[in-house]
Structure 1
Amino acid sequence: MRVAFLVAPEGAEQIELTDPWNAVKDAGGTPVLLSTDGDTVQAFNHLDKADTFPVDRLVSQAQPSEFDGLVLPGGVANPDFLRTDEKAVAFVKGFFDAGLPVAAICHAPWTLVEADVVRGRVLTSYPSLRTDIRNAGGTWVDEQVKVCDHDNNKLITSREPDDLEAFDKAFLAEFGAGG
């Protein structure tokens, strides 16, 4: 199982990157850190700088077909940066076009809104995204984790770091690791 993790050069919520990353490794998979620019990414603990992580590849050098799934960590700034990058948005949309599963937590569905892939889907997120998701044609629910099977692919979403255990279990099952 090879899993892409897409984050902006800065702004990803550290625990929403590291916890799913470790879950993939613990399941025997290979996580791959992609970003839009640079050799490292700066993670955050809420609004404070946390650790930096080495980038494996730039998103412009990757194709969805190389992966079994995509994880989009949250953080307020991370998805806001990603949704302004055409290559990042196209990469995310490519997973949906190929019928590959995508997992997004917290504020990460903002990138899904920009990729125009929430229409007709049921998903959860950090509550402040509720209106954005509805305006983009999705149905927002307040659940710990939501798996939506629509248009030949799975979308796994969660609300916040407190939901990480359920999020990890759900996306691993959908990505083929059995949870």
Structure 2
Amino acid sequence: MSNQRAEGRKLAILAADGFEQIELTSPKEAIEAAGGETKIVSIEKGFIHANKHREHGDSFHVDMSLEEAKADDFDALLIPGGLFSPDALRTNDRAKDFVSKFFEQKKPVFAICHGPQVLISANLVDGREVTGFPAIQQDLRNAGGKVKDQSVVVDGGLVTSRSPDDLGDFNAKIVEEICEGKHARQLESVTA
């Protein structure tokens, strides 16, 4: 892991029921180990339930609802994958608006596995280099993304990854990018 320090950096983790547990916990631990802070944001307050592949996972306390959360209060955003969480988020207008604000504010956004589906529905993929779980790579292409089949793809503050197998590379990039701060390229996909 990197020696970079993320003190004073705050990561929003946007998830709903049915997220892939390791895709939330592993990056969360990486940011916290580097000195950063994390908050779980979801559609409603209470608890959200994880999956461990096809099995039920643990429950996680939601720190704030989308109604309460503001992109202004965070330095970066993480969208874990899983089969059900991205589906719930991509059809939620507040979730899409929350994600879009990070791009408008030129802040790093991290999405893994099926997480990039939220970016597709928020119209944030067109012209960007991305990756995702193999089953959604064609969806990313259809949305105008330039898909690369790599463990992690970085495009001006947008960091995407394929699956839990790639978490080592993904976590290292998350820490690096949150330490770097804002990226001018993030805004291009919103204003283009």
TM-score norm. by structure 2 comes to: 0.88
Mapping for residues 26-65 of structure 1, pairs under 5 Å = 26-65=33-72
Q: Which residue of 1 aligns with 2:116?
A: 109
Q: Is the 8 A contact 1:27 1:177 kept in 2?
A: no
Which one-letter code corresponds to 1:54 in the other structure?
H
Q: Is the 8 A contact 2:108 2:158 kept in 1?
A: yes
Given the alignment, which residue of 5, 29, 32 partners 2:13?
Answer: 5
Q: Is the 8 A contact 1:144 1:166 kept in 2?
A: yes
Q: Distance in 1 between matches of 2:31 and 2:127?
A: 29
Q: Is the 8 A contact 2:113 2:164 kept in 1?
A: yes
Poorly superposed stretches of 4+, deviation over 3 Å: none
Q: Distance in 2 between matches of 1:46 and 1:162?
A: 12
Q: Which residue of 2 aligns with 1:85?
A: 92
What is the percentage of aligned positions where both structures have the same residue?
A: 42
Instruction: Quote the offset at 1:38 in angstroms.
Output: 3.3
Q: Which residue of 2 aligns with 1:168?
A: 171
The 3-state SS of whatever aligns with 2:18 is strand
Q: Distance in 2 between matches of 1:30 and 1:177?
A: 16
Q: Distance in 1 between matches of 2:138 and 2:151?
A: 18
The 3-state SS of whatever aligns with 1:60 is coil
Instruction: Quote the offset at 1:65 in angstroms.
Output: 1.2
Q: Distance in 2 between matches of 1:38 and 1:58?
A: 5
Instruction: Quote the offset at 1:56 in angstroms.
Output: 0.4
Q: Distance in 2 between matches of 1:37 and 1:49?
A: 20
Given the alignment, which residue of 75, 84, 91 partners 2:82?
Answer: 75
Q: Is the 8 A contact 2:45 2:64 kept in 1?
A: no
Instruction: Quote the offset at 1:138 in angstroms.
Output: 0.8
Structure 2 runs not aligned, ≥5 long: 1-8, 182-192
Q: Distance in 1 between matches of 2:122 and 2:70?
A: 16
Comparing both structures, which one devotes a greater share of its residues to strand?
1
Instruction: Quote the offset at 1:177 in angstroms.
Output: 7.0
TM-score norm. by structure 1 comes to: 0.94
